[in-house]
A and B are shown apart, each in its own frame.
Chain A
Amino acid sequence: MSTSRLLTQEFEYFAPHTLKEALDLLYKYKDEEVKILAGGTDLLVKMKTLDMKIDYLINLKEIPELKAVETNNQGLKIGATVPLSQLERREIIKEKYPALYEGIKSMAAIAIRNMATLPGNICNASPAGDTIPPLMVYEAQLRIVSKEGERLVPVEDFLRGVGETIIRKEELVSQVIIPAPPSNSGSAFSKKSRVKADIAKINLAIWLEREGKTCKDARIVLGSVFIKALRAKRAEGLLKGEMVSKELLTQVARQAAEEIKPIDDVRSTAEYRTTLARVMVEDTLKLAWERAGGELEG
């Protein structure tokens, strides 16, 4: 029987002080049930509510290099155990990556955001993860490391389905790398949930690059509407290289709502999600376009 009062699993615990030590442990125990602890806000809930076997737990929070945030002209590099609340307090995130800022602010409550991390939200691979659409529109990459080497994988390619990613058992995400968006671009995030702290019925992020009155490039990503965050590529195609007008944005939003594949679940119905998607995409397109310095006529 599951209880939320205590953990019934007995496991061995490690708190390595270097990344190398952590990777050696992951490699050593790759055929056992090993879990990585960062924020713990998803892991501990799963340990309490699901019948989850766990032999070894590796806490990454004592590794100094994973706590760092590096910023330069090329963009941002965010260490794996940086809590979300530290990101929302950084001016650079608010100014240059507003969709990520808004996504983080929309999540749960301050105590959770003081614990939770970006890689945690990504690796948990919930279709409703609020940082995923923003990271995808900014073309963020994950630095995935193991004892044997490292690889960079775009967030978009990292996710496979509900709770499924391409990460191997001996690997961990050490850093989230977000390129600097060009100055004539704008982005925004939007989410609908029952109350503010809830999991999304639907969430989305939009990024637009402007050249005069034309939309040079566009990325539209919606969450909670498929088994993983979904890029509305045909909707993006309607925008790219086109003069932006209110009519066009309405058309793009309609297209995005047609592309999603929502289901009925405890939080919403497919029908409601489709209707919401159209309205939310349209509003968020307008906001992103304004933030890119664009004007809307008509």
Chain B
Amino acid sequence: MKKTEIEFTLNGKKKKVEVKPSDLLINLIREELYLTGTKYACGIGECGACTVLLDGEPVLSCLTLAITVAGKEITTIEGLAQDEELHPLQRAFLEQGAVQCGFCTPGMILTATALLKEKPQATEEEIRDYMRGNLCRCTGYVQIIKAIKSCTTGGEN
């Protein structure tokens, strides 16, 4: 099948790439553009490890065709830090010990950025509900919830 050239914005930078209609966004990001922060795990929309932001909203890159993001803006975990300065959520995850093996972390943090944008004062219950599609097999979630809560307005813990 012939390739089509598409242009989209990845972490603030314009990218021009050639894709086949069947290419998945996750594979474009990881294997063509070498940003391996986005993780492949279940491949069927159950785990959230492949979460990226599409025009600011969390979506699953394992269920997104690369060709459909033409003209759109994609943010991956590599796009959150400003130069050497980590995003507050990245710092909070480190401080709270919310990272063990780290595999779920990129998806967790990207989903949490959208949560904080939508609900800056999110309660613990709201955080748990919003994060329910991002699975972690190490931490038991407690530190992850704490880290996110610490980034809400007026919520240290």
**Which A residues are within 8 Å of any B CB, using their own CB?**
3-13, 15, 37, 40-41, 44-45, 48-49, 57, 59, 61, 85, 108-112, 114-115, 195-197
Contact = CB atoms under 8 A, between A and B. Distances in A.
B24 A115 contact: no
Interface stretch (B8-16, B62-70, B74-82, B144-152): B62-70
Contacts of A8: 22
Given A109-B134, A111-B59, A5 B65 contact: no
Given A5-B40, A57-B65, 9 more contacts: A4-B42, A10-B22, A11-B1, A40-B68, A45-B44, A110-B114, A111-B111, A114-B54, A197-B133
A8 B20 CA distance: 11
A9 B24 CA distance: 12
Contacts of B27: 5-6
A108 to B, nearest CB: 6
B25 to A, nearest CB: 11
- Which secondary structure characterizes the binding site on chain B? mixed
Interface in B116-135: 129-130, 132-134
A6 B26 CA distance: 9
A149 B7 CA distance: 36
Contact of B59 (A3, A9, A115): A115
A61 B134 CA distance: 25
A85 to B, nearest CB: 7
Contact of A111 (B67, B129, B133): B133
- Which secondary structure characterizes the binding site on chain A? loop
A9 B20 CA distance: 11
A11 B22 contact: yes
Interface residues of B, number: 35
A144 B64 CA distance: 26
B57 interface: yes
B134 A13 contact: no
B129 A196 contact: yes
A61 B67 CA distance: 12
Contacts of B70: 15
Contacts of B62: 4
B58 interface: yes
B92 interface: no
A196 B132 contact: yes
Nearest to A59: B68
Contact of A9 (B22, B48, B60): B22
Contacts of B130: 110
Nearest to A108: B133
B20 A110 contact: no
Given A5-B40, A37-B65, A61-B68, A111 B20 contact: no
